[in-house]
Structure 1
């Protein structure tokens, strides 16, 4: 499936399964296929998929699988939840059996904030928790801190209104936000506190170059 257009990539990603029993504490939501396709298509255009790609908090494997399909040859998805990793493996196998090129894709169980990686200069992709749950506030900051440790460049998805925080954090880490765009994040009703069958959140996506 080399040379997929952004639209074709999104169509393939639509086949990925969502969480059957998502964790509210981990804020487990399916990254929208069109957003994953947009992010990884941009990463490919920027030449960022030529590096090792690390998907922090991979969940369903959406971003890791998207990166692999978009051309990355070495991709690692890490998640603290073993059930999420099982789902990610399943999703990758389904795409692979349907003719997708899923090579060099690894899955690692681990805490993003206490990761096992010793590399630098990677491309990090992540859809971190937005910090909506009690005890999870500023969770996206922890993911950015890990991205700063590992990445030459990173792509992260944040709740709307995060730009000032992300730019300030990046500047403090001697980095630079080179791209920023808004995206919609549709969420189906899945937890008791959800009051609507479907809600659309507004999100912001950032590409950051970390100077070393």
Structure 2
């Protein structure tokens, strides 16, 4: 198995959003974080030979990270067509052996019916924008419906919410870890060139 650092290096060529939308909280997932999440999933046997679905895939960072680790198939889902076009170009730059199907759809109502052994990976919107609180709830609901295991990135302090949601929907949090996420200055309301925030990643087993 390639190292986590080697995976992060391969993902360094993945381009971010050309015209990010604040309402969708579109930020490029850092390669180091994507590599950490997918490497952890691979060590748990949740990537190789399985179907991997990236909900809210954006420009494809998590989907492509998974595709580099030998899954059966990968599907990236996003409601915005612009980053999906970038994701297709990123796929060519990364050069994965596993092809990725890029699907334009609302991840909270995704038209998916994958096989039993399906892993969801996702960096959903945190609900940081006014009126968009708990935006990650709909993404977790989709994961509960289509996957038997999921890995998701959430804002710091989300443990009680994630554990409660999982328990109410036949799931159980089995692993959790913290990571750093660099937010670049890309919207008018940002007052610094970049900012480091702490995020939390959760692995959930779903009873499906």
TM over 0.5: yes
Instruction: State whether structure 2 residue 99 is matched by structure 1 residue 104.
Output: yes
Task: Quote the residue 1:17 is aligned against.
Answer: 15
Deviating runs (4+, > 4 A) in structure 1?
A: none
CA distance in 2, matches of 1:153, 1:117: 15
Task: Quote the residue 1:207 is aligned against.
Answer: 203
SS at the partner of 1:11?
helix
- In the TM superposition, residue 188 of structure 1 has moved relative to its aligned partner by 0.8
The superposition leaves residues 129-177 of structure 1 with CA deviations (integer Å, 9 ceiling, x where unpaired) of 0111123211101100000000100000000000000001111112111
Instruction: State whether structure 2 residue 181 is matched by structure 1 residue 182.
Output: no
Matches within 5 A, 1:105-184: 105-119=100-114, 121=116, 122-184=118-180
- TM-score where L is the length of structure 1: 0.94
- In the TM superposition, residue 120 of structure 1 has moved relative to its aligned partner by 5.2
Task: Quote the residue 1:192 is aligned against.
Answer: 188
CA distance in 1, matches of 2:163, 2:77: 25
Q: How many residues are paired up?
A: 206
- TM-score where L is the length of structure 2: 0.96
CA distance in 2, matches of 1:16, 1:170: 31
Task: Quote the residue 1:84 is aligned against.
Answer: 83
CA distance in 2, matches of 1:208, 1:189: 32
User: Residues 189 and 196 of structure 1 are in contact (CA less than 8 Å); yes or no, is this contact kept in structure 2?
Assistant: yes
Unaligned runs of 5+ in 1: none
Task: Quote the residue 2:27 is aligned against.
Answer: 29
SS at the partner of 2:148?
strand
User: Residues 174 and 203 of structure 2 are in contact (CA less than 8 Å); yes or no, is this contact kept in structure 1?
Assistant: yes
